Amino acid sequence: MPTAPTSSAAGTKPRAKRTTRKPASAARASTQAKAAAARTAAARQPQTPAGVFGGYAERAVLIPVGAALIARDRVVDNVSETLATYSSPSKTQAQLRRFERRGATARNRLEREVRKARVRAERQLRQRRRRIGSTVSDLEERRDALAKSGSDLAGRVPELANQIQERILSLV
């Protein structure tokens, strides 16, 4: 095996041997491929009942641990965000202004919706009053017409009675 040439000249260092290195992603990919091959080989082998129950027991332990770690990460992230938000008086004041603006926006939106609902209810009430008023006036007109025709008929009753008597007498 040949060795790297050394230089005897003063002040020069021997050259280091160059090696080709795989990029980190290629190394990771080959490691993942090896792990996948090992999992596939393990899946092909028949498992004993003890191995199956051991797998279940392992899962039963790892699932809550993983869930707890994820919950912990979320809590740490939220606490970090909160600390960053309120770390100085100016940031705290800015956050309070944001809260105030959002509250004012929500209040204005609610007031607008209430105003619209009130206007809608008042409009419906006016329409119903108008309809009822026209129905009442129609009923009053009918009543007056019936009263007039009834009084006209009542006024004609003696005249009609005389006509009927005259016919009866002419027939007899």
- In DSSP notation, 9-25 reads STT-PPPPPP-----HH
Q: Tell whether 133 is covered by a domain.
A: yes
Residues 29, 118: Cα–Cα separation, whole Å: 67
Write the pLDDT tens digit of every residue in 97-137: 999 999 999 999 999 999 999 999 999 999 999 999 999 99
Q: Tell whether 79 is covered by a domain.
A: no
Going by pLDDT thresholds of 50, 70 and 90, the confidence category of residue 71 is very high
Q: Tell whether 138 is covered by a domain.
A: yes
Q: In the 8-state DSSP scheme, what is residue 10? A: T
Structure tokens at 77: 């992230």
Q: Tell whether 56 is covered by a domain.
A: no
Q: 14 vs 72, which has greater pLDDT?
A: 72
Mean pLDDT (whole number) for 11-21 = 56
**CB-based contact 82:74 (threshold 8 Å):** no
Residue 8 has pLDDT above 50, yes or no: no
CB atoms within 10 A of CB 99: 10
Residues 153, 166: Cα–Cα separation, whole Å: 19
pLDDT of residue 26: 62
Whole-prediction pTM value? 0.43
Q: Tell whether 59 is covered by a domain.
A: no
Q: Tell whether 153 is covered by a domain.
A: yes
Instruction: Identify the three-state secondary structure at position 9.
Output: coil
pLDDT of residue 94: 92
Domain count along the chain: 1
Residues 129, 63: Cα–Cα separation, whole Å: 68
> What domain range is 138 assigned to?
104-172
Nearest to 40 by CA among 52, 32, 50: 32
pLDDT of residue 72: 95
Q: Tell whether 49 is covered by a domain.
A: no
Nearest to 82 by CA among 74, 12, 8: 74
Q: 64 vs 23, which has greater pLDDT?
A: 64
Q: Tell whether 78 is covered by a domain.
A: no
Q: 27 vs 95, which has greater pLDDT?
A: 95
pLDDT of residue 54: 84
